[in-house]
Every structure is written in structure tokens, then in C-alpha cells.
Structure 1
Amino acid sequence: MPRTTPQTPFFHSLQRGKVKPGVLAGVIALLAVAGGGAWWYQQKQAASVDPSTSTAAKPGAQAPGGRGGRGGRMGPGGPGGMAQAQPVSVGVVEQRDMRVLISAIGTMSARATAVVRAKVSGELLKLHFKEGDEVKAGQLLAEIDPRSFAASLAQMQGSLARDQAQLKNAQLDLQRYRELLKQDSIASQQVDTQEALVRQLQGTVAADQGQVDAAKLQLSYTKVTAPISGRLGLRQADLGNVVNPSDANGLVTITQVRPIDAAFSIPEVHVGTLAEQLRAGQTMPVELWDREQKKMLAKGKLNALDNTIDTTTGTVKAKAAFDNADGHLFANQFVNVKLQVRQIDQALVVPANAVQNNYVYLVKPDNTVTQRKITVGVADGDYVSVRGDLQPGDKVVTDGIDRLREGAQVNVVDSDKVKKVDQAVQDAASQPRGAMRNLTPEQREKIAKMSPEERKEFFQKLRAERGAKGGAAGTDGAAATAPAQQEKAGAGDQTKGQQEQGKSAAAAGPAAEQAASARGEPGEGRDDRPQLTPEQRAKLEALSPEERRAFFQKLRAERAARAEGASGADSSSGNNSSNNGAGR
């Protein structure tokens, strides 16, 4: 019998919507069950993750030295948070006169330069100087073979003597002729002829005398002397060489470097001020510094400005003079020039290394720091002028700024101690830890005497030798597996031991930490000692207790950061595996 469907408006509407009430109710029930199951699974996963996370964070929060967890590490003051005092050095805010300087790049130029050349041709016989010596004007430098010039002089002197004798005879004859003329015993023409002969011989004698003088001058040129005072360069001719006046390089070059000048260029915006001060006769000091601008070479004064401005660069050339009494400045030497234009009286200044991005860290009376925004002015040496909320006598941090945050607790120490702590931490971080544990005392002693390159080569060779021993490697792997299994088996005992150790360390207080620092040991136990090389331990022995405490605080902070990164990676891998399991 065919099934009949009630012909009511309600059933007609259900057939038109193509959805049955039973199916709709089943779908709703299924969605409710799925949602409840997902919520229950998430609560279970959160419960399984939270205990391990809190357990991992708790020992870090209770570790000696205030290592802190994630919040403590990222809190104010850098690693360790507010409870850990960072070692810093400070400088004092002062009021002093500040110079307004113009910095430029300059080149030293000699006041005078002379190339010593031979004035006559001949063989070089002697040298009376050493390269680089300081010489005086007229000092003998070299000698040329004088024999040919001496012979020419002797010949000229002989001709002079002959002509002088002829002149003397002619003068005597003229005197006799004049007496006979007075007696009217001789013709006047003969007297006139004799007078002309005397004048002719006088001219010959004068010419001979000139030749003799020229020969003497040529002979004197065989002794080469310094034309000016100054510093000698390198020798350009050796003994036995035939030198000529036409030689381009000559014998040697002399440069006058006392005094010496520095040529440099300055921006044209300062030309008016400098020219006015030069006309008024004001002295404008100039300082010369080396390439790194760490050492001042000399002090002088501005001498002159050029009469034209270079249109391509917008600068004008200037020249300053320096005494160079010590002779440390050389011609064509590169220098950094600082020209003082004016001076600012009683400006507020701070050490230059205390400024970072227009901020300074001000040390408050409670040994905490706070940032103060400043406006930086002119710089003069190790100080810069500033404007801001600072007062003379305030203390600002100069070393250790990178480890600070707003409100961080600091421990003010000497700057040399801060540098020692930073260097010790860098050395500890750069040393291979696992390899150092497996070395014998003899090997460690050898490594302490090696350079960084030799030490790196030693460890590379050691790893290569261990890798070549296959059987030994397998044995080491098996031996390494056993301690790992023991460590896994006794994980609970180890956790309890760490908790008890934390309680005992907290009960011991600062006295235990000070005692450990005095022994040169870490504050958190003897587990840190195998990770230090003999060289690092020797450095620690030379540190004071405060420096050791700062060193180990920083070392613990770095290890806590690495441990936190490793635990974060493990937790993320665990979450991924859990999610994969849930997906399956």
C-alpha cells in the first residue's frame, strides 16, 4: 500500500526546504559533541605544558645572583633585571670653556727646498754627510776631484806673474823716459809710446787676474756645500760616479723643516671671520693631529689665506706655521688640522662617550639610572657641550651603557675595571668549552702560551685527529650514552638537589658570594670552574673581589640567555609534536 503524506501546509514547507527535522537535530548534537571534545583536549594540553614551564622558570628565578626568568632577563637593567647591579663607570657634568674648531685635512710643506747639484764636472771622491741628517748652510757635503782645476789655476797664475813683470818693466822705462824728456834729451813721441805700452800691460794683468779668480772659483766648486739649512734626503750619487751640473736628481735634496708650514682648505663661510681676525693681528691657534686623531703632533698659528676661493669645492686655501723644534714633522706628511675660530665661555659639558643617540644615563643618588634627553653642541677633545636637564656635578654613565635600561641598578666602579670585566667575559665566551674539559694540564699550559691563530689551529688539528679514530669515537659515543642515561634516570634527584642548593645559597646570603668571589670562583657553584681556561683563571686572580663579582654576574646572565633560548626551542618543538599528534 503506498505511503501517504499528510497534505498540510507545514509538511509542504518542509519538503520545499529539503531539510528534515531529525537530520537537523542530529547535526546540532554532533557539533556540540565536537566542540566539547576540542575544549577538553585544549585544557588537557595546557595542563600538561604549564607545570614544565613553571618548573623550568622557577629555578631560574631562584638562581643565585638574581639571574631571573624571562621577565627578569628582559626587564630594566638588562640581564638579571632590577635586582642585578651592572658595573659602570661614570663621568661628571662640568662647566668649562669650549673651543669652536674647524676640522680640515692638511699636508705639510717645507718652508724651502733645494736640490744640491755639482757645479763642475768631475769624479765624486768624498761624501761628508749621512742621509737624513740636519745640516747648516755652508756645511761641506761632498768633494769632487780637484786636480784638473788646480792645474788650470796654476797656469792662470803663471800668466799673471809674467804679465805683471812686463808691466813693471814698462813702468820703469816710462819713468826714465819722462826724466830724459825734462832734460830735452828724448823725443816726446817715445814717451807717449811708452805710456801706451804700460796701459796695455795693465790691461793684460787685469785679464790674467780675472782668469786666476775664475780658476779659483772653479776649484772651490769641487767642495760641495749646503746652500740652506735643513734636513737631508736620500743620496742620489755614489762615490766614484762622474757628476755633472746637468744631473736632474743632483747629489741630495735639502728641505727646510724648522719652521715648517701646513697647507689646508677651509669652507668659504669662515673666510670673512678669519680674514678680519688676521687683519686685526689676532692669533688663531692651530693644532695638528695624526690620522687616527688620537695624538696631537704640534701647535702653531694661522699665517695667511689665499686670495681666491676654489669655486669647485667652495673652499679657500690657508697656511699655518709650526716651529717643529723636535723635528717630528716631515714635508708632504698627512695631518688632521683643527683651527680655533672662537671660544664659548663656561659651557655645560659631558664626556663624549657618555652621549648615545642624544641621550645620557644620569646616575641618581640611589644608584639607579634614568635617561635624559640632551642637545649636543660643539665637541672639543673628549668633551661635548650639551643643553638639557643636567646640572654641574651630576654623574653620567660613560662605560657600560649597552647593558642599561631605564631604572636599572648600577655599581659605580673605575673605568679600567669595567674594561677588564668586559674583556674577561669576551675571552670566556670565545673559548671552546667542551674541548677544554678533555685537555690534559700540559695541553692547557701550552694553549695558554699560544696566540689566537695558533690556538685555533691546535683545536682544528685535535678535532681532525679525534675524527680519524673511528673505534675510539664509537667507544666515546657509548661512554657518552651511559652518563646521559644516568642523568635521565636521576632527573628527579637532580631537581631536588638544585632546589636544596638554591635554598642553601639564599640562606648563606652575601657572605657566601663574597667568599666565592675572593677565591675567584663563580657565585653559583663549582660547575662553572671547568669552563674557564688557565689563562682566564689567571686573569681572575688579578681582579679585585668587586671585579670578580661583576664578571660572574655578567657570565651568569649570558649563560641564562643561552639556556633560555635552548629551553624555548625545546618547548616549541614539544608543542609542534603535540599539535601533530592531535592532528593525527
Structure 2
Amino acid sequence: MSKLPLSRRALSILAVLVPLAFVLGYVALRSGPLAPVAVTVVQVESKALRPSLFGVGTVEARQLYRLGPVAPGRLLRLSVQVGDTVKAGQVLGEMDPVDSDDRLRSQQAQVQRAAAAVADTTARHAFAQQQARRYEQLFAEKATSEELLAARRQDLQLASAALAAAREDQARAQSDLQALRTQRASLRLVSPVDGLVTARDAEPGTTLVAGQMVVEVVDPTSLWVNTRFDQVSAAGLAAQQPAQVALRSRRAQTLAGQVLRLEPRADAVTEELLAKVVFSTVPQPLPPIGERAEVTVDLPELAQGPVVPNAAVQRQGTQIGVWVAQGDRLDFVPVVLGRSDLEGRVQVLKGLAPGDSIVLYSEKALTARSRIHVVERIPGVSS
């Protein structure tokens, strides 16, 4: 009689445990570790990708002039400030001439004396030449002796030598005068171009050494961006390609430009290629020399082929590939990638075909045994 209550108790327990086990199994399969992973999928597209190359550089000037004295001296005056616009040939400042003006006046007097000496010896030479011709006629008429004719001819030779020496002295004096004038002119700091004063490193009264910079002038039409590009992605970069330049101070404005040239030497430390990018028009107002800029270069369009988002590319061990979704199954397919663009798309050279369905985002890491559940959006992961 005691077995009947026990059987009822067991049945009661089983009645509770069986539904509970069923609920737990359902929860484990739907929201636990065995639950399907939510993923978003996209179709492999066939597109003609137009890659772009991004680089960072600084604004520089290819025509930059650092003006200073060619000899030691004291700065007498300086008439320009940083930011002033100057014209070609404009005198910006002057070094103290010390005794240059006195030596110049002395040399001018020496030139005048040399000119007077040339005039005197020219007259003497003309007289000696006239006397020599006269005595040659007299000797022909037997009216003078051969000794007197020889003496007149010797006088002519001496006058010719004196005239040649006087002319050499005059040329030397004029050359020395020109040298002093050039030296005097070198004391003036003259702008070689129409430009902008970007630096003023000395004040009047300062004693300077030869070659020390006083002012710096740049040609605004020669501004360019010295740009660095990653060597890995720089294949196809060439001169004359169009570019867009975004200055740090004007990030909302993009300036048109183009690649002027590639530098023959790369940076071996940072593994970057160097290129000069010029502006299509001179930016107004002028950007400061040394300002950072972001450069985007449009590379030639590639042939049409399979294209996938960069976010879909995964690494499994040593292989690079994508997860291909086939119903609720997953297959990891290795791929060979080509070029990419700045919109996050990459060219697939081998491994996929247009129309293949691949996983773009997943709420957690996937494996070959993962079961998936396709959703339109994963909160906080995809947009």
C-alpha cells in the first residue's frame, strides 16, 4: 500500500522536470552558448573600383629665399616686417657700408686719372706717329739722315708702349671700380621675386656673419605639399594625377591640386614614398609654411570585378578570407585581394564570384561550427 504514494510523487516530479528541461534546452539553443549567431550579410558586387591614395604632408615653398650679407658687418636698417608683400628688386634693408663709399670715391678719382693718362699718351702717340711719317718723307727726299729716321721710329714704339700701358691701367681701374660698386650693392638686401616676407631674424644694429639670414621671402606661386604615402598602398602613384588637399586650418574646404613629381628617394625608416603635390590655384589667404595637410590622390580606375567591403575580410590562422553564408551554414573561403578605395571596398582577385552572400558583421566571433541567424542590423556594430 506504500508504493502508490511514491509513484504519485515521482510522477509529480517528472511532470515538473520534463517541461523545465525542455525550457532550458530551448533557451540554450536560442539564447545560450548554442544559440545561432546574429549576422548581417551582403552580396558580392561586380564594380569597376576607382582606388584613392591618402597621405599627409606639410606646406612648403620650392622657391624660398633667405637673404643675408655676403660679408661680416652690422645691419644698418631693415624696412620690412613679417607678412609684408614685396616686389622683385625692392630694397628690404642695408648693411653698414663703413668705408665703402670713401673707397668708391677714391677709385672713381683713380679712374679719372687713368683716363687723363690715356688721353695724354694718346696725344703723345699721335705726335710720334706724325713725326715718324714726316721723317720717312724727308729720308725719301734725302733731306735727313737714317739715324734721325731711326730715332723717330723708336719714339713711336715708346709712345705705342706707353699708350698700351695707360689703357691697361685704365681697364684695371675701371674693373676695380666695378668690383667696389658690386661690393657696395651687395650691402643692400634686395628681394629677388614678388613674394611674402615669412621671417625676420635680425634687427638694425645687429652684427652679422657672412651668410647669416636676415629676412626670408617666399614666392607664393611656388607653394606645394611635401606629402608622405604608405609604400604598401602607393602602387600606381604617378605625376600629373589629380589630388585634393585639405589644410588643417580649413578642413571644411578642399583645394584642387595634382601630383607634380615623385621623389627618387623614399624614407627607409617610415617606409613611405615622398611626393610633391602642387595647388591648381594659389590658395587665398596663403597657408602658413609648415602647416599640415591631408592629401587624397585619385588613382586610375581598375577593371570591373568582384568587390567586397573591407569589414567582411577576416583572418583565420595564416589565411585571409571571408565567411560565405549558405542558409544557416558557414564556409570560410580564402581570397586573394587587390586594391582598395577610401570608401572601404576592396577588389577580390580570386576566391569569390559576383552574387555570393558573405557575412559583413557578426555579434561575436565565428567558427566553422557556428550556426547563424541573418538579421538586418546588429545594434552598435553595423549602421
Tell me whether the two structures share a fold, i.e. TM-score over 0.5: yes
Letter in 2 for 1:331: I
Letter in 1 for 2:182: L
> Radius of gyration: which is bigger?
1
CA contact (8 A) 1:287 1:298 kept: yes
Q: CA RMSD in A?
A: 3.9
Secondary structure at the aligned position of 2:119 is classed as: helix
- The partner residue of 2:221 within 254, 258, 272 is 258
> Within 5 Å, which residues of 2 pair with 1:277-288?
278=239, 283-288=240-245
Letter in 2 for 1:334: R
Report what 2:253 is aligned to: 296
Residues of 1 paired with 2:73 and 2:270: CA distance?
51
Secondary structure at the aligned position of 1:258 is classed as: helix
Mark the CA change 1:293 to 1:180 in structure 2 (over 3 Å): closer, same or farther: closer
User: 1:383-415: CA deviations, max 9, x gaps?
Assistant: 999x99xxxxxxxxxxxxxxxx999xxxxxxxx
CA contact (8 A) 1:114 1:255 kept: yes
Mark the CA change 1:175 to 1:227 in structure 2 (over 3 Å): closer, same or farther: same
Report percent identity of matched pairs. Answer: 20
- Higher RCO structure (Cα 8 Å, ≥6 apart): 2
CA contact (8 A) 1:298 1:324 kept: no
Report what 1:125 is aligned to: 76
Secondary structure at the aligned position of 1:131 is classed as: coil
Secondary structure at the aligned position of 2:99 is classed as: helix
Structure 1 residue 300, shift from structure 2 partner: 0.4
Residues of 2 paired with 1:131 and 1:334: CA distance?
21
Secondary structure at the aligned position of 2:62 is classed as: strand
Report what 1:546 is aligned to: none
Residues of 2 paired with 1:221 and 1:315: CA distance?
42
Report what 2:160 is aligned to: 195
Residues of 2 paired with 1:293 and 1:120: CA distance?
43
Mark the CA change 1:344 to 1:232 in structure 2 (over 3 Å): closer, same or farther: same
Structure 1 residue 147, shift from structure 2 partner: 6.0
Structure 1 residue 269, shift from structure 2 partner: 4.7
Structure 1 residue 220, shift from structure 2 partner: 1.7
Residues of 2 paired with 1:310 and 1:144: CA distance?
41
CA contact (8 A) 1:120 1:218 kept: no
Report what 2:33 is aligned to: none
Report what 2:295 is aligned to: 337
Residues of 2 paired with 1:292 and 1:181: CA distance?
87
Letter in 1 for 2:291: Q
Mark the CA change 1:178 to 1:290 in structure 2 (over 3 Å): closer, same or farther: closer
CA contact (8 A) 2:247 2:291 kept: no
Structure 1 residue 98, shift from structure 2 partner: 8.5
- Higher mean alpha-carbon deviation, 184-193 vs 162-171, is at 184-193
Residues of 1 paired with 2:78 and 2:268: CA distance?
49
Mark the CA change 1:273 to 1:198 in structure 2 (over 3 Å): closer, same or farther: same
Mark the CA change 1:406 to 1:194 in structure 2 (over 3 Å): closer, same or farther: closer
1:152 and 2:111 aligned: no
Mark the CA change 1:180 to 1:297 in structure 2 (over 3 Å): closer, same or farther: same
- The partner residue of 2:284 within 316, 326, 334 is 326
Mark the CA change 1:311 to 1:161 in structure 2 (over 3 Å): closer, same or farther: closer
1:226 and 2:170 aligned: no
Residues of 2 paired with 1:106 and 1:331: CA distance?
12
Mark the CA change 1:143 to 1:308 in structure 2 (over 3 Å): closer, same or farther: closer
User: 1:48-100: CA deviations, max 9, x gaps?
Assistant: xxxxxxxxxxxxxxxxxxxxxxxxxxxxxxxxxxxxxxxxxxxxxxxxx9853
Residues of 2 paired with 1:256 and 1:233: CA distance?
10
Residues of 1 paired with 2:195 and 2:101: CA distance?
31
CA contact (8 A) 1:111 1:257 kept: no
Letter in 1 for 2:59: M
Secondary structure at the aligned position of 1:234 is classed as: strand
Residues of 2 paired with 1:318 and 1:244: CA distance?
36
Structure 1 residue 115, shift from structure 2 partner: 1.4
Residues of 2 paired with 1:233 and 1:252: CA distance?
8
Q: Which runs of 5+ in 2 are unaligned?
A: 10-47, 136-147, 304-308, 313-339, 347-353, 356-374, 378-383
Structure 1 residue 272, shift from structure 2 partner: 4.5
Report what 1:268 is aligned to: 231
Mark the CA change 1:219 to 1:180 in structure 2 (over 3 Å): closer, same or farther: same
Q: Which of the two has greater helix per residue?
A: 1
- The partner residue of 1:104 within 55, 65, 71 is 55
Q: Which runs of 5+ in 1 are unaligned?
A: 1-23, 33-96, 346-354, 359-376, 389-404, 408-584
CA contact (8 A) 1:257 1:329 kept: no
> Within 5 Å, which residues of 2 pair with 1:299-310?
299-308=256-265, 310=267
> Within 5 Å, which residues of 2 pair with 1:49-64?
none
Letter in 2 for 1:305: L
Residues of 1 paired with 2:184 and 2:295: CA distance?
48
Residues of 2 paired with 1:168 and 1:272: CA distance?
75
Please report the TM-score for the alignment, with normalisation by the length of structure 1: 0.39
CA contact (8 A) 1:303 1:321 kept: yes
Q: Which of the two has greater strand per residue?
A: 2
Mark the CA change 1:310 to 1:121 in structure 2 (over 3 Å): closer, same or farther: closer
Secondary structure at the aligned position of 2:221 is classed as: strand
Residues of 2 paired with 1:173 and 1:292: CA distance?
78
Structure 1 residue 213, shift from structure 2 partner: 1.0
User: 1:520-558: CA deviations, max 9, x gaps?
Assistant: xxxxxxxxxxxxxxxxxxxxxxxxxxxxxxxxxxxxxxx
Letter in 1 for 2:93: A
Structure 1 residue 301, shift from structure 2 partner: 0.4
Report what 2:121 is aligned to: 170
CA contact (8 A) 2:85 2:195 kept: yes
Letter in 2 for 1:139: Q
Report what 1:212 is aligned to: 177
Report what 1:497 is aligned to: none
CA contact (8 A) 2:248 2:291 kept: no
Mark the CA change 1:137 to 1:98 in structure 2 (over 3 Å): closer, same or farther: farther
Residues of 1 paired with 2:268 and 2:187: CA distance?
51
